[in-house]
Amino acid sequence: MFKNLDLNNQEDEMEFMPIIPLNDEDDADADGATFPGELPILPLRNTVLFPGVVIPITVGRDKSIKAVNDAYKTDKLIGVVAQKDSSIEEPTVSDLEDVGTVAKVVKLIKMPDGGTTIIIQGRKRFKIDEITAEDPYFKATIKLLEEESIKGDNDFDALVGSIKDLASQIINLSPNLPSEAAIILKNIENPSFLIHFVSSNLNSDLKQKQQLLEISNLKARAELLMSLMHTELQYAELKNKVTNKTRAELDKQQREYFLQQQMKAIKDELGGDNVAEVKEMQKRAENKKWPAAAKDMFNKGAEKLERMHPSTPDYSVVYNHLDLLLDLPWEEYTQDQYDLKKAKKVLDQDHYGMAKIKERILEYLAVLKLKGDMKSPILCFLGPPGIGKTSLGKSIAAAINRKYVRVSLGGLHDESEIRGHRKTYIGAMPGRIIQSVRKIKSSNPVMILDEIDKVGSDHRGDPSSALLEVLDPEQNNTFYDNYLELEYDLSKVLFIATANNISNIQPALRDRLEIIDLSGYAVEEKIEIAKRHLIPKQVDMHGLKANPFKMSDAVIEKVISDYTRESGVRELDRQLASIMRYQAKEVVLKGKLKATITNNDIEKILGKPRYSNEIYKMANMPGVAVG
């Protein structure tokens, strides 16, 4: 019943402080008193002052402090009105209510922090006739409102008795209210003051209290107060019911669950505190394009989640599963780029040579353009390390305008990494395939299965056997993940596997792959790769763009033949990086570079040649092989 008083009329609320009447006869005395026709006006936020009631107020606004100080120095009378909107910091005339209460400043206290606290007592209701001044504070001419006296009315007496009874019931049902409040009510004899006292402490909003203040007929005011008190009583009874329901469920075995049971009872009445999370998920699901099976599973999971308390262990399991269902791009696809000339240009720009692979990708695009719908091939790039198998996958994704994701299979030895764990296990997660699709937000990405020949196997299962379903075009449209517990269509994903040694791939898995053999680069190809890609990259990485220099084909060939012996270009890249570091040092020490790097410079930078081809040019004795 008693509302927490906001003593500073700001945002912070204090614990209950009972409003104790100084004298219930003051209301009667006010009828015979004389009041000035013009008063300073004090606007209040979150509070309505009733005649006879005493309340403490902390005054913070400059205008209000001046008004209070001036009133305290003279007759100590001030007009108190409520603001229509309590959030407004600097109210104007239109923000003030018309009806307020003449108040007497009983006490003015200067606080250590510079603030001013006043204790005021309501005397008589008034209506503002006209605002006469707005600076330095509001002043207004007022018209006093007379109370319509009621004598010998049995109905009114019954109303007053009912108000006392209702107030006592509310106090008894509210454990936070002190029992002294009921004693105060019993000792109030003046009906008018009783109505004002109860109205002031009623836990209602500002508009309802203002409505009570504006009613001149005391009986009508009492009837409205009764209505508001019935609402307050119902709220107190409901609150008490929740508490009693919890207590009734307690016994010797359940004492340790007291708090959880109380929360359960509150949830039964209010609908639970996870409603917002479930509603948010259901809102996301409304616009989701997904199969009927996924929709049904989500709806069942959401219903289950609504019935669960967030503190139960299974709550996070169900929540994470539903979150995965929502995150997966069930029927979301990127638009393929069917411009073969542009695709060929992108592939040529990123990689030199590799004509066989480029032709295969362009053929796939051509068929896709003509047919419109086609199961993606499962390609496997086979070749020695360092020839650009993995980076080629990224270029293919860019050429056909698809998203790119890479799954590293090197050292994988658990089948659950592919198929996922059953969600009943602690720490269960979906498999790498589903995780990658979830991350990339597309059901038709280019997915690189890197180092497929390095998949291991042990007592936890054979991941290469799990890959059979993923990489079979006839099966992967119904790929089953143990965590997801639904079939997911992977038929639109363009899988590209990379491998160094085909003999390490399981025969059944090898049979599902379209293997494209990539041999090592010839010297002439390496020279072109160095000129187009490696040297510009290293120049940029070592900050040498502002200091240009030249490396002839003969010098690059010397680096390739005398300092590297590989099928790919990784070692060549490292040797070029050594040359760039030397050049960077020269720039810092000498401030300039030689315009051209010669063979002698190469030997000076990289040392004596490590490899020689002379042995292959010599005439060999019969029966001796040089390998």
Q: Which has the closest alpha carbon to 236: 171, 178, 179?
A: 171
What pLDDT does 7 receive?
Answer: 37
Residue 36 has pLDDT above 50, yes or no: yes
Residues 390, 511 share a domain: yes
In a domain, residue 335? The reply is: no
Note the pLDDT tens digit of each residue in 408-436.
888 888 888 888 888 888 888 898 999 99
Total structural domains within the chain: 5
Note the pLDDT tens digit of each residue in 134-149.
888 899 998 888 877 6
Q: 355 vs 217, 347, 359, 490, CA distance in Å?
A: 98, 10, 6, 28
Note the pLDDT tens digit of each residue in 535-568.
888 889 988 888 888 888 888 888 888 888 888 7
In a domain, residue 98? The reply is: yes
**Residue of 241 and 118 predicted with greater confidence:** 118
Residues 348, 449 share a domain: yes
What pLDDT does 247 receive?
Answer: 63
What pLDDT does 203 receive?
Answer: 81
Note the pLDDT tens digit of each residue in 219-274.
888 888 888 888 888 888 888 777 776 666 555 555 556 666 776 676 666 555 56
In a domain, residue 264? The reply is: no
Note the pLDDT tens digit of each residue in 121-133.
999 999 998 888 8
Residues 542, 507 share a domain: no
Residue 19 has pLDDT above 70, yes or no: no
In a domain, residue 347? The reply is: yes
Lowest pLDDT segment from 371-380, 472-481, 582-591: 371-380
In a domain, residue 185? The reply is: yes
Lowest pLDDT segment from 43-47, 559-563, 614-618: 614-618
- Where is the domain boundary, 95, 117, 144? 144
Lowest pLDDT segment from 22-36, 321-335, 360-374, 424-438: 22-36
Report whether 321 contacts 482 (CB < 8 A): no
- Where is the domain boundary, 517, 534, 566? 517
Residues 539, 507 share a domain: no
Residue 10 has pLDDT above 70, yes or no: no
In a domain, residue 16? The reply is: no
What pLDDT does 194 receive?
Answer: 85
Residues 395, 538 share a domain: no
Residue 60 has pLDDT above 70, yes or no: yes
Buried b / exposed e over 119-138, threshold 16 CB at 10 Å, is bbbbbbbbbbeeeeeeeebb
Residues 479, 358 share a domain: yes
Note the pLDDT tens digit of each residue in 385-415.
877 778 888 888 888 888 999 998 888 888 8
Residues 456, 377 share a domain: yes
130: left (phi > 0), else alpha (psi -120 to 50), else beta? Answer: beta
Residues 494, 592 share a domain: no
What pLDDT does 101 receive?
Answer: 92
Mention every residue, 6+ apart, whose C-beta is less than 8 A from residue 544.
580, 583, 584, 587, 593
Per-position DSSP letters for 487-534, written without gaps between them: EE--TTSEEEEEES-GGGS-HHHHHTSEEEE-PPPPHHHHHHHIIIII
What pLDDT does 626 receive?
Answer: 59
Residues 531, 506 share a domain: no
Which tokens in the block code for residue 402? 């698809």
Say how far residue 113 (Cα) sits from the centre of its chain.
40
Residues 364, 444 share a domain: yes
In a domain, residue 54? The reply is: yes
- Where is the domain boundary, 144, 167, 196? 144
Query: Domain holding 110: CATH number?
Result: 2.30.130.40
Query: Domain holding 559: CATH number?
Result: 1.10.8.60
Q: 202 vs 28, 212, 472, 501, CA distance in Å?
A: 22, 11, 73, 84
Domain that holds residue 584: 523-614
C-alpha–C-alpha distance, residues 605 and 327, integer Å:
54
Residues 159, 110 share a domain: no
Query: Domain holding 207: CATH number?
Result: 1.20.58.1480
Residues 227, 92 share a domain: no
Proportion of the chain above pLDDT 70, given as a percent: 85
**Averaged confidence pLDDT in the chain:** 81
Report which residue type is found at 57: I
Query: Domain holding 438: CATH number?
Result: 3.40.50.300
Residue 11 has pLDDT above 50, yes or no: no
Proportion of the chain above pLDDT 90, given as a percent: 5
Mean of pLDDT values over 437-462: 84
Note the pLDDT tens digit of each residue in 297-309.
988 888 888 777 7
